[in-house]
Amino acid sequence: MTLQRPDEATLHAWADGELPPDAAAAVAQWLAEHPDEAARMAAVQAQTAGLQALHAQVLDEPVPPQLILALHRPPTQWRWQHALAAGVMLSLGLGLGYGAGQHQAGSQQTPAVGKAGELPSFVREAAAAHAVYVPEQRHPVEVAAQQQAHLVQWLSKRLGVALKPPVLEAQGFHLMGGRLLPGESGQARAQFMYEDGNAQRVTLYVSVLDQRTNAPSAPASFQWSSDGLTQGFYWIEAQQGYALSSTLPRERLQVLANAIYQQLQ
């Protein structure tokens, strides 16, 4: 069935995560059938994430004393200060509230599944990249698994960390290969793609988070995300963010996420 092209407002609402689940699923399905448009939306999401990250450190700064004082003054005499303070706080909330997700430290060998909050930008990037490249038949990856040594060396150098693609043969998936992708503020990202015997594909998206985000040094709990079509688990450990994306059932994806987490320790 051929889906009708969403208008620009709907596409951008999808990129911003503002559509209800049914509408988001319809747009995601249409993008999966139109790789060029999916790539354009992925670029929009990456640009938005970069802009939001420019002053993310403000979230960790104390509220200016002037604003606190204005909020506690009598409303009849200082009404305009209240309005100013509220406006500034609202602007900060809208511009910077797209946070890095909920981090839950733990010492377990396998993180517990937690409740997802605001999606970190790398998770949105991962979902967009999954929607763009998984439907590809001739060029799903940039470097095939037959050149795994070159792939790992290249991506490790670009991301600045030693990468190790997990082996998922025991779970029924083989590595197809991977590619280099752009993240927020032009940072390098890595995507590894796997496929099972039924041509079901999953992608593992790896990002190195900005040191200013103060990501926890302990493992975070697994978080679940879904845009109505693509779904998966993501987690943060040290300065690296991981997002596993697919259309597989949640239970099967958790098995894969557990296996990946164990191998990356």
Mean pLDDT, rounded, for 239-247: 92
The tens digit of pLDDT for each residue in 99-147 reads: 333 333 333 455 555 444 578 888 889 998 999 899 988 889 999 999 9
**Quick check: 85 pLDDT over 60?**
no
The tens digit of pLDDT for each residue in 198-220 reads: 999 999 999 998 765 544 444 45
Are 105 and 92 within one domain? Answer: no
- How many structural domains compose the chain? 2
DSSP assignment of 136-204: -SS-S-SEEGGGHHHHHHHHHHHHTS---PPP-GGGTEEEEEEEEEE-GGG-EEEEEEEEETT--EEEE
- Residue 255 to residues 32, 171, 204, 240: CA-CA distances in angstroms? 25, 8, 14, 20
Q: Which of 3, 24, 259 is nearest to 124 (CA)?
A: 24
Are 112 and 230 within one domain? Answer: yes
CB 171 within 8 A of CB 259: yes
pLDDT interval class at 64 (50, 70, 90)? low
Are 163 and 217 within one domain? Answer: yes
The verdict on residue 8 lying in a domain is no
Are 87 and 191 within one domain? Answer: no
The verdict on residue 39 lying in a domain is no
The per-residue pLDDT of the chain, averaged, comes to: 76
Are 110 and 83 within one domain? Answer: no
The verdict on residue 23 lying in a domain is no
pTM > 0.85: no
Are 221 and 204 within one domain? Answer: yes
Q: Name 184's Cβ contacts closer than 8 Å, sequence gap at least 6.
A: 46, 49, 50, 52, 53, 121, 122, 125
Domain range for 204:
100-264
Rounded to an integer, what distance in angstroms lies between the CA atom of residue 45 and that of residue 125? 7
Which pLDDT score is estimated for 258? 92
Are 236 and 182 within one domain? Answer: yes
Where residue 159 falls (left for φ over 0; alpha for ψ -120 to 50; beta otherwise) is: alpha
The verdict on residue 124 lying in a domain is yes
pLDDT interval class at 257 (50, 70, 90)? very high
Are 111 and 81 within one domain? Answer: no
pLDDT interval class at 71 (50, 70, 90)? low
223: its two tokens:
């978080």
* 240-246, strands of its sheet edge to edge: 113-114, 222-226, 231-237, 240-246, 201-208, 188-196, 173-182, 143-144
Which of 72, 96, 120 represents a domain boundary (last residue)? 96
Q: Which of 249, 247, 221, 215 is nearest to 234 (CA)?
A: 221
pLDDT interval class at 56 (50, 70, 90)? low
The verdict on residue 172 lying in a domain is yes
The verdict on residue 17 lying in a domain is no
**Quick check: 260 pLDDT over 80?**
yes
Which pLDDT score is estimated for 143? 93
CB 260 within 8 A of CB 109: no
Give the 3-state secondary structure of 28-55: HHHHHCCHHHHHHHHHHHHHHHHHHHCC
The verdict on residue 22 lying in a domain is no
Name the β-bridge partners of 22.
none
Rounded to an integer, what distance in angstroms lies between the CA atom of residue 199 and that of residue 203? 13
Which pLDDT score is estimated for 202? 96
Which secondary-structure segment (H or E) carries 81?
helix 79-96
Are 206 and 236 within one domain? Answer: yes
